[in-house]
Structure 1
């Protein structure tokens, strides 16, 4: 099993959820996160409304960028053979060829347990 961690733009949440559901992976965990990549939080790269206090923080520090950019972190645990399918779907929806498209990380998962039934392994994630 693998955990796929995808950091994406907030405006890509719904299309990403839809494509994952279409290919048979409706179970996800989504978290609001703040971060920055190589672009160092350049505010001009945002396609979302930014809270005024976040922009003001950058101005006060003499920067032309925000300290952190709002993103979404999706976590999906899948069987090893499904990793490529899920990653390709996430890329297809989120790739704009512009700075800030996000990152995908693939991590090993040693075990999974469904709390309700006690099922373990791949049975617990299907």
Structure 2
């Protein structure tokens, strides 16, 4: 099993969830997060006025609002999930996000105590 974590633009969240659900991956966890990449935060990335305290010199922001999604999938499903996330979120512009794939040693469904693959199905 692997955990696929993706940091994406907030406006892409709904479409990303829809595509993953159609592919058979409706279960995920999502967080509102703040961060920045090499560009050090682009004010134009957001569709609202940025409070001056969040701005830094040079027109950037200290942090940019993003969404972090996480889902645990079987090893063989990783390429499909990663490709789907890329297809929905890739614009070719700075700020498209990142995807991280990490090993998962075990999973346990608390209610039934099912383990491993059964716990994530």
Instruction: Tell me the TM-score normalised to structure 1 length.
Output: 0.91
Please report how far the alpha carbon of residue 64 of structure 1 lies from its aligned counterpart in structure 2 after TM superposition.
1.4
Aligned match of 1:3: 3
1:68 matched to 2:63? The reply is yes
Contact 2:107 2:120 in 1 (8 A): yes
**Matches of 1:62 and 1:47 in 2, distance apart?**
17
SS at match of 1:70: strand
User: Structure 2 stretches of 5 or more lacking a match?
Assistant: none
Match status 1:118 vs 2:113: yes
Q: CA deviation at 1:83?
A: 0.3
Runs (5+) with no aligned partner, structure 1:
none
CA RMSD of aligned residues (A): 1.2
The structure with the greater share of residues assigned to helix is: 1
Q: Is 1:57 matched with 2:53?
A: yes
Q: Tell me the distance in 1 between the aligned counterparts of 2:47 and 2:4.
A: 25
TM-score (ref. length: structure 2): 0.95
The answer to whether the 8 Å contact 2:54/2:63 transfers is: no
Runs of 4+ in structure 1 deviating by more than 3 angstroms, as ranges, are none
Q: Secondary structure at the match of 1:110?
A: coil
Q: 1:41·1:65 contact (CA, 8 Å) conserved in 2?
A: yes
Residues of 2 paired with 1:92 and 1:103: CA distance? 13
Does 1:28 find its partner at 2:28? yes
User: 1: CA distance between counterparts of 2:104 and 2:34?
Assistant: 25
Paired residues, number: 121
Aligned counterpart, 1:48: 47
